[in-house]
Amino acid sequence: MKIVEHGERSDSKTPMKSNRRYANTMLMLVAVASLCAVLPFTGCKSAGPGAKQLSLAVNSGVEGDALKQAARDYESLTGVRVNIAEFPYDNLFEKEQIDLTAATGAYDLIMLDDPWFPRFASEQLLTDLAPLFQKQGQTGPDEDFIRASIALCKHPYETGATFALPYVGNSQLFFYRKDLFEKYNLKEPATWDDVLTAAKTIDEHERTGSPGGGRVYGYVMRAARGNSAVADFMPIFWSFGGEMFGEDHLRRFPQPAVNRKEAIDALKFMIELGKYAPNGYASFNASEVSAHLLQGTAAMSINWPAWISAFSDPEKSRVAGKMNFAVMPGARTEGRAEIGNWLIAIPRACRNADAAFDFLLWATAADQMKKSALAGNPPTRRSVFTDSELLAKFPSYPAQLRSLERSRPRPRTPQWNEIENVFGIFISRANSGELTAEDAMNQANAEIAKIVERNSR
């Protein structure tokens, strides 16, 4: 192609010599660039099947940090190289979903939050661990694991085959200010009515009682749309006798039951409790709730064990040493916390299942789990919960163990992410006063039914 300068006539018969040189230079550059692009194809080849290495997808945060440390120890112990890919919590699910569905085999082991498990397991994306246990001469996970945690790793829930092992044993706890409870002669709340009475009392008497001289709110909760509102509502919902699905809950596509009387009563109770919570709690997430608790401006809340250690550190809390941690209060039924365990599973497309399983067993064994616990992760083994060194360091362990043993999982449906999102919107709107409890639950029920219907097609 003839290249002509702007401003020149294109039929010019004497193109400048340097024009051609410029074109040549550009051609050369293009050639070099193409060569660069081709080089990687001809370069390295992947390590062969004999190469001992594993790849692991972990969550950014204290849970992932502990597993990373375990991987490094395993590396120096066995010589097996463990490559770690780390993702923020919000991105981990989609990353694993893409990888598992495309069966790329990029990861030999994945860390997963337990609500994701039904989705992965029902789509047959995980390796059944039974044959691997057999190869090791074992029948299954040992009895030391907490039953509630192991139940999460089975598909169907509690009864099916094991597809994962539990690594971090979070379950919600009830946080309350023991100094204020003592001051007003209040007992550790056993029921939600006790909570409401205590919230009223503290709210009335502590208008200037916070360390900053401001008001101490009786209760604080997360009611922002999505996971936040649902997580803080579920313990109340369950204790009032509410259930996400009706009698057909064991069917693959059950009908929702969140507009029954028990469920509406539970939401009404939550809104009543909200009268003693800081303004704007209907948009609160974990940060706002924890800020209120740590600053001493709220007396009670539901929270996760990750926050316990902050309440013994004066650098982090203005009410250090004044917080107690208890099991969930009840109402019409026994109080039960929501469980939130981190599991480790082997994707179905994994090519080194034996090596991966070896690491899995090693990382979830009692001595490794103790190391993870020392770093701040609640364990999933009874023997670690009752370890004397850990008990001395974490005085709340007995309460955590009781809470975990009595905990309940979020409904085990593959559509949970979608359902939680919708349910959370209506709970939040009811708390902000936009909808009545009845309207919110009726609308939520209709929307959840649509999700189930859509997925059953």
Closest among 220, 224, 226 to 294, alpha carbons compared = 220
Across 348-362, b (16+ Cβ under 10 Å) vs e yields bbbebbebbbbbbbb
Can you tell me the distance from the alpha carbon of 313 to that of 172, in angstroms, rounded to the nearest whole number?
A: 21
Q: Binding to other proteins by residue 91, rule CB under 8 A?
A: yes
- Provide, rounded to whole angstroms, the least separation between the CB of residue 278 and other proteins: 10
Q: Binding to other proteins by residue 6, rule CB under 8 A?
A: yes
**Could you say which of 13, 14, 42, 46 contacts other proteins (CB under 8 A)?**
46
Q: Binding to other proteins by residue 397, rule CB under 8 A?
A: no
Cβ count near 103 (within 10 Å) = 12
Q: How far is CA 266 from CA 198, 219, 236, 367, 419, in A?
A: 18, 16, 6, 42, 18
Can you tell me the distance from the alpha carbon of 328 to that of 195, in angstroms, rounded to the nearest whole number?
A: 11
Per-residue contact string for residues 299-328; x = within reach of other proteins by CB under 8 A: -----x-xx--x---xxxxx----------
- Provide, rounded to whole angstroms, the least separation between the CB of residue 15 and other proteins: 10
- Provide, rounded to whole angstroms, the least separation between the CB of residue 10 and other proteins: 6
Closest among 186, 210, 202, 205 to 319, alpha carbons compared = 210
Cis peptide before 156 (omega within 30 of 0): yes
* Sheet with 109-113: strands ordered across: 81-87, 53-59, 109-113, 339-345, 164-171
Q: Binding to other proteins by residue 72, rule CB under 8 A?
A: no
**Could you say which of 78, 283, 295, 436 contacts other proteins (CB under 8 A)?**
295
Extract long-range pairs of 355-359: CB within 8 Å, 24+ residues apart. Answer: 355/52, 355/54, 355/80, 355/108, 356/54, 356/108, 356/109, 357/129, 357/132, 357/136, 359/54, 359/56, 359/71, 359/74, 359/80, 359/82, 359/108, 359/109
Structure tokens that stand for 218 in this block: 């009786």
Size of the site for other proteins (CB under 8 A): 59
Part in contact with other proteins (CB under 8 A); list of ranges 22-30, 142-150, 235-243, 417-425: 22-30
- Provide, rounded to whole angstroms, the least separation between the CB of residue 89 and other proteins: 5
Q: Binding to other proteins by residue 1, rule CB under 8 A?
A: yes
Cβ-based nearer residue to other proteins, 371 or 382: 371
Handedness of CA 85, 91, 93, 97 (dihedral sign): negative
**Could you say which of 34, 51, 72, 89 contacts other proteins (CB under 8 A)?**
89
Q: Binding to other proteins by residue 63, rule CB under 8 A?
A: yes
Q: Binding to other proteins by residue 290, rule CB under 8 A?
A: yes
Distance of CA 425 to the CA centre of its chain: 19
Q: Binding to other proteins by residue 161, rule CB under 8 A?
A: no
**Could you say which of 105, 140, 209, 214 contacts other proteins (CB under 8 A)?**
214
**Could you say which of 34, 101, 104, 124 contacts other proteins (CB under 8 A)?**
104
Cβ-based nearer residue to other proteins, 297 or 431: 297
Cβ-based nearer residue to other proteins, 2 or 275: 2
Cβ-based nearer residue to other proteins, 254 or 296: 296
Cβ-based nearer residue to other proteins, 161 or 310: 310
Residue 413 phi/psi, 5-degree rounding, is -125, 145
Q: Binding to other proteins by residue 377, rule CB under 8 A?
A: no
For residue 77, give every residue at least 6 positions away whose Cβ sits within 8 Å of its Cβ, in sequence order, or none.
none
**Could you say which of 286, 374, 399, 449 contacts other proteins (CB under 8 A)?**
286
Residues that bind other proteins (CB under 8 A): 1-8, 10, 16, 18-19, 21-22, 25-26, 29, 40-41, 43-44, 46, 57, 59-63, 83-91, 98, 104, 106, 113, 212, 214, 286-287, 290-291, 294-295, 297, 304, 306-307, 310, 314-318
